[in-house]
Structure formats: structure tokens, C-alpha cells
Amino acid sequence: MADIILVTGADGFIGSHLVEALLRRGHQVRGFVYYHPYSETGWLSSMPADLAEGLEIFPGDIRDAGRVDAAMAGVDSVFHLAALIGIPYSYHAPASYLQTNVLGTQHVLDAALRQKVNKVLVTSTSEVYGTARYVPIDEGHPRQAQSPYSASKIAADALALSYHLSFGLPVTIVRPFNTYGPRQSVRAFIPTVIRQLLSGAKVLKLGDLTPTRDLLYVEDTVRGFLALHQTDAFVGEEVNIASGKEFSMLEVLSVLQNIMGTDMKIEVDHSRLRPKESEVRRLCGDFGKIVRIGWSPSWSMEQGLRKTVVWFRRHDIHEKGHGTFRL
């Protein structure tokens, strides 16, 4: 029997791309998806038919320890991506972020320990660094909890590393920077801009355009996950997946308007502004660690944005709950 790889958050943006990549490599995948009463499976519902045979859908809730333990049965390795990720909502409901991101991660770690899983890859975020104190940001950069969301991820990362040091669990912390591409939530900056440009609106309603971000096209992020899955070099460590470049949101907007042939006026949407001290002003990652195992970014920002625009032109999507679903 082939080894089973468990992917939590398999129905989400990055998770669905990762599942597809694993299936294309011939792996058996168990996709842990957030339970919905109407059997919705997020982006996995659009999985190509030729790949679906290798995929087992496992509905549940990462906050349910028993369900997580059941999902871990017979698993060789696990990619843990399930999380609440919307930063704005974390200001209003911080407890839900602790329950999902910290307690949910503990459930994954406990189950992996009981089931003697051979490899555990826990997904972090560049938000744990907060505004850069120096660039490029390496894995030793101080952690700064500038939002309840980032605080929950800092805690989850620390908990995962403690399980390695305390119990010998083979954990690696995977820390992608700002991933974008097809299937991303329309609440994120790049899909928000594309969607407004496609709508024909006369004015773009956006938040602060001065912060910089290190942008990764989703295919590069997934390649990073796969590379880390194939090595034991970084067990017990944290590893950035980054491009080493930074672009302001205004620069990204300019490239998107050029790609789409538009030039619209901008209006500040105050609902999209973070509290002043919470805004992460600058992110630019150091990927010197992961390059040691042969990974490097392959997509330029403009190439990735062009692919993303093409996808959004072909798909009419809307928000439902905390996930993004295709109509």
C-alpha cells in the first residue's frame, strides 16, 4: 500500500494547489477539509478527474482532536495548512484564531506523535516577523505580534518546535512569504484589485498602498513545500520560502493596471486599513536556507500576475463564510 500524505486545509488556496501537485507526483493524498453540511470541498471540487482517484476527502474540524486523530491514522507525513488567515477579522474575534491556529496545531502535533508520523510540516507565515527590522529577513529575525492573527501563528510555531525538542517529533516549520495566484481569496489585495478592475468600476477602493511585500506565485510556494518534504535537512528548524524582492502595493497596482489596460482613480477604503501600530510596513525575505536544497523562485512578479489575471477572467467567484468557492 502506498504511503498516505495528509494535507490539512486541503480545500483552501495553497492547500488545493499542494494537493494537486502531490497527486501529480503519484502520492496518495488524504485531504482534511472543513466540514460543511452540503458536502462542499472548496477548490478540491474542481480537481481534474484524472487525479481524483488518488485523493481521499476527509471532512472535519481542526479544533476536534478526535477527528484529527482519525485523519492521521496510517499517515506517513502531514502538511498542516489549516488555519484562520484573515488579519482584519482577527481584530474582532481573536479567540477563534487561538482555537483554530494554536489548539488546532496542537491537535495535529498530538495526533502525529500518537500515530508515529515520519514527517510533520507546519505552515507558518511571514506575518510572524512583523515590520522588518532589517532586510532581507532571515529565520533569526525577531518575532513581532502586530495582529492577533500573527500572535496565534507565533504561538503555533513555538508549540510545534517544542514538540520536536520535547518529544522528538520530526517537525519542520515552513514559512512562505506573500503567496498569490489562482484561487486566492478575493479579500486579499491582488484578487481585490483584479476583481475591481474587471468589474468596470470607475474608482478603485483600496487600503494603504505604501507597505511592501515579498510576493511568491503559488507554484513557487508549492515547489518549496515539496522540496522540504523530500529532505530531512531542516527537521526541528524554520525555513523561509521567499523571493528576496519587495514591491509596494502601489507598484503591484501599477503592474496590474498595465496588464489589464486600465488607469482608474483610487479611493481609500478605510475598512481595509489596519490599526496604525498593527500594519506591517515592510517584508522582504531571505531564502538562503532553502536554496541549499535546490529551490529558488522561478516566477517574476509580472509573470505571476499575468497568470493570475487570466485565471480571474475565466472564473466568477464569491465569498462564502471564511472560504472562497467557485460558482
The pLDDT of 139-167, averaged and rounded, is 98
Please, are residues 137 and 283 in contact by the beta-carbon 8 Å criterion? yes
CA-based torsion, 113, 119, 123, 129: positive or negative: positive
Residue 326 confidence (pLDDT) above 60: no
Residue 82 confidence (pLDDT) above 60: yes
Identify the structural domains of the chain with CATH numbers, from first to last: 4-180+216-244+286-298 (3.40.50.720)
CA-to-CA distance for 126 and 121, rounded, in angstroms?
16
CA-to-CA distance for 128 and 157, rounded, in angstroms?
9
**Residue 136: is the preceding peptide bond cis (ω within 30°)?**
yes
pLDDT at 5: 98
Which cell is 32 given? Answer: 482534511
Task: Indicate the average pLDDT of the chain.
Answer: 93
pLDDT at 45: 84
CA-to-CA distance for 283 and 132, rounded, in angstroms?
6
Structural element, H or E, at residue 72: helix 65-72
Question: Which range has the top average pLDDT, 40-49, 56-65, 265-274?
Answer: 56-65
* Digit-coded pLDDT (tens) for 198-255: 988 889 999 999 999 999 999 999 999 999 999 999 999 999 999 999 999 999 999 9
Question: Which position has the grid cell 494535507?
Answer: 7
pLDDT at 317: 58
* Digit-coded pLDDT (tens) for 169-209: 999 999 999 999 999 998 899 999 999 999 888 899 999 99
pLDDT at 39: 65
Catalytic residue among 34, 97, 129, 149: 149
pLDDT at 104: 98
Q: What is the pTM of this model?
A: 0.94
pLDDT at 272: 86
Percent of the chain residues topping a pLDDT of 90: 84
| DSSP count for the chain of H helices, then E strands | 11, 15
pLDDT at 81: 98
pLDDT, greater one: 2 or 257: 257
In angstroms, the first-to-last Cα distance of the chain is 36
* Digit-coded pLDDT (tens) for 278-287: 999 999 999 9
CA-to-CA distance for 276 and 225, rounded, in angstroms?
33
- Look up 134 and say whether it is catalytic: no
How many other CB atoms are there within 10 angstroms of residue 24's CB atom?
12
pLDDT at 107: 98
Task: Decide the pairing of beta strands 247-248 and 212-213.
Answer: antiparallel
pLDDT at 321: 36
Lowest mean pLDDT across 17-26, 34-43, 83-92: 34-43
Beta bridge partners of 4: 28, 75
Residues near 277 by Cβ (< 8 Å), separated by ≥ 6? 146
Which cell is 226 given? Answer: 515539496
The pLDDT of 17-42, averaged and rounded, is 91
Which cell is 141 given? Answer: 529575525
Question: Which position has the grid cell 525575505?
Answer: 285
Closest CA to 229 of 6, 77, 21, 15: 77
pLDDT confidence band for 325 (50 / 70 / 90): very low
CA-to-CA distance for 324 and 327, rounded, in angstroms?
10
